[in-house]
Amino acid sequence: MFDKEYSFRGAHAEKVIQLTADFDRNHNKLFKRNLDVYIMDPIIGFLYQEKDEVDKSGETTKIFPEQLLNEQSTLQFNYRLIMLLDDRHEKDFEERVNKAFRYYGGEKAKPDEALYEQYVLGGVNILHRKLIESAKSEEDYLTNLYDFIEEFDERYNQSVSTDDISNLCRLARS
């Protein structure tokens, strides 16, 4: 799944371009590369339960295969973690394990890969909305980033135990 070129398209491409653009004269950016956005997006989309469909209109911005291959273990980890946690789409834990590990890369994984893609695109929307949309000055970008990180911490890190995180990470890495 993470071994060939990936393209953001249409409105999502425009948002990713803005997320990776310089926001000041010193060439500071919120994300250095499209790949960095792609690594973060599915987790954000899943946690906020926001999905979106592919927009095939307009421009594209790409992630090249060698970049994806270099981060394949991180990307697979994200995919597996979402498959393990997504009890809204699969109630049975054993079947979620199958989706995360046994079906990965096969024909049975196609619907799950499409779901993952929807979370990626939902994550693009959230990051753009939280970090870019209201920013008018250099300070706004930093304030938005700080506010988003603080919201994220309050929303998720307060209610998840360290043991839960350790157990899920151990399972996803195996």
Q: What type of residue sits at position 63?
A: I
Overall size of the chain counted in residues:
174
Nearest to 172 by CA among 66, 101, 72: 101
Mean pLDDT of 66-84: 96
What's the pLDDT score for residue 147?
Answer: 92
Read off the amino acid at residue 83: M
Give the model's pLDDT for residue 50.
96
Q: What is the pTM of this model?
A: 0.87
Instruction: Tell me what percent of the residues of the chain surpass a pLDDT of 70.
Output: 91
Q: How far is it, in rounded angstroms, from Cα 174 to Cα 111?
A: 23
Please tell me the predicted confidence (pLDDT) of residue 153. 81
pLDDT in tens, 114-130: 999 999 999 999 999 99
Determine the Cα–Cα distance for residues 133 and 149; give it in Å rounded to an integer: 16
- Rounded to the nearest angstrom, the gap between the alpha carbon of residue 133 and the centroid of all alpha carbons in its chain is 18
Q: Cα–Cα distance between 2 and 13 in angstroms, integer?
A: 18
Instruction: For the chain, give the percent of residues with pLDDT over 90.
Output: 74
Determine the pLDDT at residue 154. Answer: 81
For residues 61 and 7, the answer to whether their CB atoms sit within 8 Å is yes
- Of residues 163 and 142, which shows the higher confidence score? 142
What's the pLDDT score for residue 58? 87
Weakest-pLDDT range from 107-111, 132-136, 157-161: 157-161
Q: For the chain, which residues make up each domain, given as ranges?
A: 6-173
**pLDDT value of residue 105:** 87
